[in-house]
Amino acid sequence: MPSTDDLKLRIEAAIPGSSAAVTDLTGTGDHFRATVVAPEFAELSRIEQHRRVYAVFGADIGGPIHALSLVTKAEA
């Protein structure tokens, strides 16, 4: 079961210069919310920003991670 720290570290490792705050929405280790700040988002549409974060997890979304609610920003 993924933890909020696992998600945070995976996002921050995959997206250069990013910082992520992750919460477990249900306390069950499968529904998460992440707020991700990354400089590269300045160049991307909202859809592309979310795709970028979803891509970090690949098939884990819909697998062990049932839901990942996202807020993405270029700067904090």
Partner 1 sequence: MSATENPMRDEIQNAISSHEVILFMKGRPEQPMCGFSARTVAALDALGASYAAVDILPDPRIRQELSAISNWPTIPQLFVNGELVGGCDIVTEMYETGELASTLGIEPKADAPEEAPVASEPGAPPLQIRNDLAS
* Binder of partner 1 out of 67, 74, 75, 76 (CB under 8 A): 67
DSSP string, 14-55: HSTT-EEEEEESSSSSSEEEEEEE-GGGGGS-HHHHHHHHHH
Is 46 among the residues that bind partner 1 (CB under 8 A)? yes
CA–CA gap between residue 25 and residue 73 (Å, rounded): 20
11 conformational bin, left if phi > 0, alpha if psi -120 to 50, beta if neither: alpha
Stretch that binds partner 1, among 8-16, 36-44, 66-74 (CB under 8 A): 66-74
Which residue from 25, 42, 64, 74 is in contact with partner 1, where contact means CB under 8 A? 25
Residue with Cβ nearer partner 1 (16 or 28): 28
Give the binding site for partner 1 (CB under 8 A): 25-26, 28, 31, 46-47, 50-51, 54, 61-62, 66-71
